[in-house]
Structure 1
Amino acid sequence: MIARLRGLLDSASETACIVDVGGVGYQLFCSARTLRALPRVGEAVKLFVETHVREDHIHLYGFASESERAWFNLLQTVQGVGAKVALGILGSLATAELTRALAAGDKAMLTRCDGVGPKLAVRLITELKDKLGGLELGAASIGLPEAGAVAEAPGAVADALSALVNLGYKRADAFAAVTVAARSMGDKADVSALIRLGLKELAK
């Protein structure tokens, strides 16, 4: 099983690239985001790899990071998401953006991804929202609440989130801002203070 490849970039297309490792060319299907991050042809490249073995083919999927590979596998646990759709999602949203969208229940952001309609967006949110903590993405670093951080004021958080969304901010951005504010305030969190601090976060 191939888990990682290091070699020279031989070529790249809209959906895949070929990495030359000791004279052997390996074709890897990649997200648009990973393809954009590739070096120039002939330069050194390292990609994390997921190997899919089927009766009729063996496909290699390449990723710029371990977290992108982890997301690729997690997304495919949802009914209706295969490798192509998973790559489409990862090509449209960075892993941190995807985490925020799922945590905030932002269907609009998810439906901007290739292959994701309203029904699939709901399914992604429903099935993956509780699994986010298992990924090595660092929830705190992207504005997600640590366990119990907003336990004392869940109603205030929800009300502040609703207020910011009504002001025109994207739900995922508002969610990240409010939860950062809630973490900093702890049990002193109230709606007006959360909105005020949330607006400061959004203005950064």
Structure 2
Amino acid sequence: MVIGRLRGVLAEVEPDHCLIDCAGVGYVVACGARTLGRLPAPGDEATLFIETTWSAESGPRLYGFLGRDERRAFTTLLTIQGVGPKAALSVLDVLPPGELAAAVAREDKAAVARANGVGPKLALRIVTELKGKPLGEPSFTPSAPGVHVEPAAPVPSLTGEAVSALLGLGVAEVVARRSVDQALIRLGDEADLSAVIRAALQELGR
């Protein structure tokens, strides 16, 4: 049986996993820090899209994501030699699917190398091998041979601008993204940038 999605009560949240209670059965689901930071409070209902991996040492293991695009990015990363589940989650912690696609389009291996456990050589391999592979919208599509297409500059998002502001204050990127995500959950996507930054700083002080 392959599990594609779990919906149940969020029972526990740990540094690298959570426990989802589905009709009395508790599922241990490994998640990235970004996903864990965006989960509801324990006791509330949560829905995670699931990818199952298998190893001879640990048997089956469930990995959870809040969106199908994140799950697809995870499975695509796993097709690259040298990228295991831990490294794939680390990449998605610093580069959500849309930002990862943009980094691949501009061949920005330095952005990928910010992920924990991903060195320059592996970052280069990731950027090289993801070209042409689908990942929702946009896909990793290289330009025609001999034709250089300058990628369009991405439009700054509210999340990206708020995270950048926190990075300027010396906050670690994973922590900054988590606090901004929590702030947006509280305020909504229509909040202005200054309000999001203030709320994110409040989250950091908790």
TM-score by length of 2: 0.67
Residues 92-147 of structure 1: CA deviation (Å, up to 9, x unaligned): 1111111111111001111111111110111111111121xx222245xxxx9998
Q: Which residue of 2 aligns with 1:100?
A: 102
In structure 2, the residue corresponding to 1:124 is in which secondary structure?
helix
- Which has a greater percent of helix? 1
Per the alignment, do residues 147 and 79 of structure 1 end up closer, same or farther by CA in structure 2, a change over 3 Å counting? closer
- Tell me the alpha carbon deviations over residues 11-31 of structure 1, each in whole angstroms, 9 at most, x when there is no partner: 111110000001111000011
State the partner residue of 2:191.
none
CA distance in 1, matches of 2:97, 2:11: 27
- Point out where structure 1 has 5 or more consecutive residues left out of the alignment: 159-174, 179-204
Q: Which has the larger radius of gyration?
A: 1
Identity of paired residues, percent?
Answer: 44
Amino acid corresponding to residue 153 of structure 2 in structure 1: A
1:68 alignment partner in structure 2: 70
8 Å CA contact 2:132, 2:141 repeated in 1: no
* Residues 4-57 of structure 1: CA deviation (Å, up to 9, x unaligned): 000010011111000000111100001111111100000010000011133342
Q: Secondary structure at the match of 1:87?
A: helix
Aligned to 2:186: none
Counterpart residue number, 2:56 = 55
Which residue of 1 is the match for residue 11 of structure 2? 10
1:136 is aligned to 2:136: yes
Structure 1 residue runs of 4 or more that deviate by more than 3 Å after TM superposition: 144-148
Q: How big is each residue's C-alpha offset from its partner over 1:126-181, in whole Å with a ceiling of 9 and x where there is no partner? A: 111121xx222245xxxx99988xx9xx55x55xxxxxxxxxxxxxxxx3328xxx
- In the other structure, the counterpart of 1:176 is 152
Root mean square deviation, CA, Å:
2.4
The count of aligned residue pairs is 152
- Judged with a 3 Å threshold, the aligned counterparts in structure 2 of structure 1 residues 30 and 116 are, in CA distance, closer, same or farther, namely same
Residues in 2 aligned to 1:8 and 1:137: alpha-carbon distance in whole angstroms: 31
Q: TM-score, normalised by structure 1?
A: 0.68
Taking a change above 3 Å as real, the CA distance of residues 147 and 107 of structure 1, as seen in their structure-2 partners, is closer
Is the partner of 1:177 in helix, strand or coil? coil
